[in-house]
């Protein structure tokens, strides 16, 4: 197919297949969007198109972020509200942070305080638990770090009350088994995996440094 054929075959998706209607009580962002803000838009899962699940996912996440806006925590990403167009939520507006925990450790584990990081992550998870919520998808890619290496948990698309049925959940390699309901133990298990991963990464870096010193 030529590019012309592809362009002619494209069709606009109806708003109702992608975006949820904005509730009257949602926080609407009207300030200019700058480089300090991140716009989270729906991920176009082809298997979800026409099912109503895409807008449901976005509305669920917006509702969780509205709760966290009223009850903030320093290690949970700051939410500013939603961008609303044509009466629909088209983006969640969040703080933009420099790098994921995964990229931070892959670049260099030097001077990274694993104990401090885990203490702050556990505090954020306990904050979610105080509202009866589980994140259900904790991974080093869903944790950002700021310039002072403070961790900040992002991506609340799978965050739901305990016992709720989930549309999406978990990332292979960071879960013990597939699951379909929101449970606190999912996060506890993921925190344990993240801690072991951090210790392995930072320990390997230290050993590399020691080995190179011995060779000199």
Are the C-beta atoms of residues 59 and 26 closer than 8 Å to each other? no
- Which of 62, 96, 130 is at the close of a domain? 96
Does this model's pTM top 0.75? yes
| 196, 201, 202, 208: CA torsion to nearest 10 | 140
Query: Per the structure, how many domains does the chain have?
Result: 2
Are the C-beta atoms of residues 118 and 195 closer than 8 Å to each other? yes
104 and 179 in a single domain? The answer is yes
Question: SS3 of 17, please?
Answer: helix
Tokens, residue 127: 């904050």
45 and 111 in a single domain? The answer is no
Expressed as residue numbers, the domain containing 165 is 98-216
- Of 115, 127, 124, 128, whose CA–CA distance to 152 is shortest? 124
- Which of 69, 96, 123 is at the close of a domain? 96
Q: Does residue 89 belong to any structural domain of this protein?
A: yes
Q: Does residue 7 belong to any structural domain of this protein?
A: no
208 and 126 in a single domain? The answer is yes
Q: Which residues contact 99 (CB under 8 A, 6 or more apart)?
A: 107, 144, 145
Q: Does residue 201 belong to any structural domain of this protein?
A: yes
Mutual angle of helices 114-129 and 184-215, in 10-degree steps:
170
- Which of 96, 130, 146 is at the close of a domain? 96
CA R_g for the chain:
20
Q: Does residue 23 belong to any structural domain of this protein?
A: yes
Query: What does the pLDDT read at residue 210?
Result: 39
User: How does pLDDT run along the chain (216 residues), one tens digit per residue?
Assistant: 788 777 777 777 788 889 999 999 999 998 789 999 999 999 877 667 777 889 999 999 999 999 999 999 999 999 999 999 999 999 999 999 999 999 999 888 778 999 999 999 999 999 999 999 999 999 999 999 999 999 999 999 999 999 999 998 899 999 988 999 999 999 999 999 999 999 999 875 444 443 433 333
Task: At 141, give phi and psi (nearest 5°).
Answer: -85, -15
Q: Does residue 3 belong to any structural domain of this protein?
A: no
137 and 123 in a single domain? The answer is yes
111 and 214 in a single domain? The answer is yes
């Amino acid at each position: 197919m030529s590019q012309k054929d592809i362009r002619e075959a494209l069709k606009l998706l109806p708003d109702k297949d992608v975006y949820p209607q904005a509730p009257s009580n949602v926080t609407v962002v009207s300030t200019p969007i700058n480089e300090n803000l991140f716009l989270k838009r729906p991920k176009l899962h082809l298997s979800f198109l026409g099912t109503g699940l895409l807008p449901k996912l976005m509305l669920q996440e917006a509702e969780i972020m509205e709760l966290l806006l009223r009850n903030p925590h320093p290690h949970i990403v700051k939410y500013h509200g939603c961008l609303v167009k044509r009466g629909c939520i088209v983006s969640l507006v969040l703080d933009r942070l420099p790098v994921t925990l995964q990229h931070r450790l892959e670049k260099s584990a030097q001077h990274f305080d694993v104990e401090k990081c885990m203490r702050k992550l556990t505090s954020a998870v306990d904050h979610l638990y105080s509202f009866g919520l589980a994140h259900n998808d904790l991974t080093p890619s869903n944790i950002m770090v700021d310039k002072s290496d403070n961790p900040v948990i992002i991506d609340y698309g799978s965050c739901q009350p305990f016992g709720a049925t989930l549309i999406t959940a978990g990332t292979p390699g960071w879960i013990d088994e597939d699951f379909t309901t929101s449970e606190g133990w999912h996060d506890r298990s993921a925190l344990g995996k993240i801690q072991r991963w951090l210790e392995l990464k930072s320990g390997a870096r230290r050993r590399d440094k020691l080995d190179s010193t011995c060779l000199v």
